[in-house]
Amino acid sequence: MANGRKSLALALGSVAVASLGLASCGDSDTPVAKPPTAGPSTGPSNGRSNGAGGSEARQQRAGASLAGKTVVLDPGHNGGPLKGGQVFVGNGYKACDTSGTATDAGYSEHAFTWDTAKRLQKVLQRRGAKVVLTRPNDKGSGPCIDERAAIGNRHKADAVISIHADGAAPGGRGFHVIKPKPVKGLNEGIIAPSSKLGDAVLAAYKTGTGMPYSTYLGDNGVTVRDDLGGLNLSKVPKIFIETGNMRNKTDAAKLSDPAFRQRMAVAMADGLTRYLTGK
């Protein structure tokens, strides 16, 4: 990572420079982990889809019109070379971009987030939403994390989701949603709606995919952070979702399966629809 820029940032800022180069998952560098616990979360991947169950409610949501709503999807990371350097995220500096993680078999997080975002885009568009992606493909260098936040702001998005997968210890599995923590003078206006958005996506994702809450961090699938540029700089309701742990065998198998990614996309769309329409 561009060390010249890094030391410049250090020289400039007395502010804390957050987690340089620790990225397991880019903008969402894994924070302090809690020891793995069995937790009350769902049993092991009861691979059972809820896809059939609850289909009535789903049909209702599928029928709910998202006309007039703008959703910005941020597929985490990018396929091309990193731009490098540091950007100011309101309360410190972070890497402009990071490479993200991958499964042991080599399926990269950036390819995963791109594929899942494209699937989610289609579902949301079918429901009538205007959907904007923060990057145009999975090839070039993606926008820096501050620009990713700016894209949501520029489009006055009704909701923004940044899609990621984690690169945590292999023994931990499951998903979690990251909600913004207030940063004075920056994102205080989005805390309440983002929390609501997070709860809606959390519930829908759990029901729709059968994935358990993260066993290695968070509280019932939720973490709250103030060190992510994407959340600090957003002026519109926004969350991150760490959809699973790519380093965990069970999660990796699911994330690598196109049919499962489709289920994930529909589940996220259901959560978004619930948040945006109340249905």
**Cα 164 from chain centre:** 4
Q: How far is the CB of 98 from Zn ion (least distance, A)?
A: 7
166 close to 174: Cβ distance less than 8 angstroms:
no
Helix (H, G, I), strand (E, B) or coil at 109: helix
Cα distances from 120 to residues 124, 127, 131, in angstroms, run: 6, 11, 9
Binding mask 184-223 for Zn ion (x = CB under 5 A): ----------------------------------------
76 touches Zn ion by CB under 5 A: yes
CB under 5 A: which stretch of 4-12, 81-89, 95-103, 123-131 binds Zn ion?
Answer: 95-103
Q: Please give the Cα distance from 127 to 121 (Å, whole number).
A: 10
19 close to 227: Cβ distance less than 8 angstroms:
yes
Among 25, 87, 123, 160, binds Zn ion (CB under 5 A): 25
Q: How far is the CB of 255 from Zn ion (least distance, A)?
A: 12
Nearer to Zn ion, 103 or 207 (CB): 103
Nearer to Zn ion, 99 or 215 (CB): 99
Among 18, 26, 175, 216, binds Zn ion (CB under 5 A): 26
C-alpha dihedral, 35 to 37 to 268 to 225, nearest 10°: -30
State yes or no: is 242 an active-site residue.
yes
| Residues tagged active-site | 242
Instruction: Summarize as ranges the residues that interact with Zn ion (CB under 5 A).
Output: 25-26, 76, 100, 164
